[in-house]
């Protein structure tokens, strides 16, 4: 293990785990501050940390507090991110500014990957990835999550990407960037609320051990960068594609009418979908994060066991 970067602050639990080579799983914080309403967001964050511990790994929720990148948060830190409406959404381009200004920031997939890698963490669990937005040929709106996956050595477990994005273009971009896209236990790439998307799985795996083997092969060959591990939502929690499709179309129309742009797009759409489904989307979202936490802990254990 390399020594964690001096600008990071690790909790004792995470620092100890990294020294002992106990499996560690990183978690992002934009999903808490901008992805779900309060207080379900803090309940979800706390529960997911518990699931990771139950499955033999140490959780490290990542955020920036008072300008300090934190690897692992206590209950107070989680509450602050969940309840304070003024926490900034921080992707990679925002990190220097938020650190220099000593602000609080909730990290996206991209920024969380970067900080996790700096700390020496290789497995990261979230809900959904950012990607290529619909209409990107006009707006150029492609999430920095994709460019980060091209360069930073972290495996990211998600339930795929929401169809607020252009899933086909997102998969094309990941191919161009050389990012392996593994789908756990399915021949179809999942679309967050639904197990299918109409797009085939670029690569199928059926166990955490197989994922760990692909991670080891990739980095062993000197192929730097991340991996997408897409874990379809459990069947019992799925929202049928037709039903959520109508809701997403309506949310996109509402967004256009309000003229929302740039980094506010994803948080607006996530919030609007919760409103339009009267909370049903939130229940599904929490269920899929739980499932991802179980898979992520298992992958971290398998990867650690390879030595």
SS3 260: coil
Q: How far is the CB of 288 from ligand PSU (least distance, A)?
A: 9
State the distance between the two ends of the chain, measured CA to CA, in whole angstroms. 11
| Closest approach of ligand PSU to the CB of residue 175, in Å | 19
Task: Give the whole-angstrom CA distance, residue 230 versus residue 206.
Answer: 11
Q: Output the residue with the shortest Cβ distance to ligand PSU.
A: 128
Residue 41 binds to ligand PSU (criterion: CB under 6 A): no
Would the annotation count 144 as a binding residue? yes
Rounded distance, CA 2 to CA 278, Å?
46
Q: What is the DSSP string of 179-240?
A: --EEEET-SB--BTTBS--SSB-SEEE-SHHHHHHHHHHHHHTT--S-EEEE-PPPGGG---
User: What tokens appear for 254 in the block?
Assistant: 């509402």
Closest distance of CB 272 from ligand PSU, Å: 12
Work out how close the CB of 261 gets to ligand PSU at its nearest, in angstroms, rounded to a whole number: 11
| Residues between 110 and 149 with contacts to Mn ion, criterion CB under 5 A | 141
- Out of 148, 162, 188, 263, the active site residue is 162
162 is catalytic: yes
Hey, what are 79's tokens? 């509450």
Name the residue nearer to ligand PSU (CB basis): 124 or 301.
124
Judge whether 187 is annotated as a binding position.
Answer: no
- Say how many residues touch ligand PSU, by CB under 6 A: 18
For residues 196-255, which are near ligand PSU according to CB under 6 A?
A: none
Q: What does the alpha-carbon distance between residue 223 and residue 151 come to, in Å, rounded to a whole number?
A: 9
Q: Which residues bind Mn ion (CB under 5 A)?
A: 141
Q: Which residues are catalytic?
A: 28, 162
Which residues contribute to the annotated binding site for Mn(2+)? 141
């Amino acid at each position: 293990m390399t020594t964690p970067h001096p600008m990071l602050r690790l909790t004792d639990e995470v620092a100890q785990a990294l020294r002992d080579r106990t499996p560690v799983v990183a978690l992002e914080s934009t999903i808490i501050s901008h992805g779900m309403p309060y207080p379900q967001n803090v309940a979800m964050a706390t529960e997911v940390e518990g699931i990771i511990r139950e499955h033999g790994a140490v959780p490290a929720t990542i955020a920036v507090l008072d300008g300090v990148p934190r690897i692992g948060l206590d209950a107070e830190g989680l509450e602050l991110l969940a309840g304070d409406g003024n926490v900034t959404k921080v992707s990679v381009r925002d990190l220097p500014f938020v650190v220099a200004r000593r602000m609080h920031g909730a990290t996206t997939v991209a920024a969380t990957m970067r900080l996790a890698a700096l700390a020496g963490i290789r497995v990261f669990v979230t809900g959904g990835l950012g990607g290529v937005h619909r209409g990107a040929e006009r707006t150029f709106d492609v999430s920095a999550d994709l460019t980060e996956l091209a360069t930073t050595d972290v495996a990211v477990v998600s339930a795929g990407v929401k169809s607020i994005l252009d899933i086909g273009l997102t998969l094309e971009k990941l191919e161009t960037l050389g990012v392996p896209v593994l789908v756990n236990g399915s021949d179809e790439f999942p679309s967050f609320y639904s197990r299918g998307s109409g797009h085939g799985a670029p690569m199928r795996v059926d166990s955490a051990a197989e994922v760990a083997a692909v991670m080891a092969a990739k980095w062993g060959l000197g192929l730097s960068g991340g991996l997408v591990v897409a874990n379809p939502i459990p069947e019992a929690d799925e929202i049928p594609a037709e039903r959520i499709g109508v809701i997403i179309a309506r949310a996109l129309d509402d967004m256009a009418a309000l003229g929302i742009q740039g980094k506010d797009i994803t948080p607006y759409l996530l919030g609007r979908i919760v409103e339009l489904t009267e909370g049903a989307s939130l229940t599904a979202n929490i269920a899929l994060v739980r499932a991802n936490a179980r898979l992520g802990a298992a992958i971290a254990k398998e990867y650690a066991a390879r030595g």
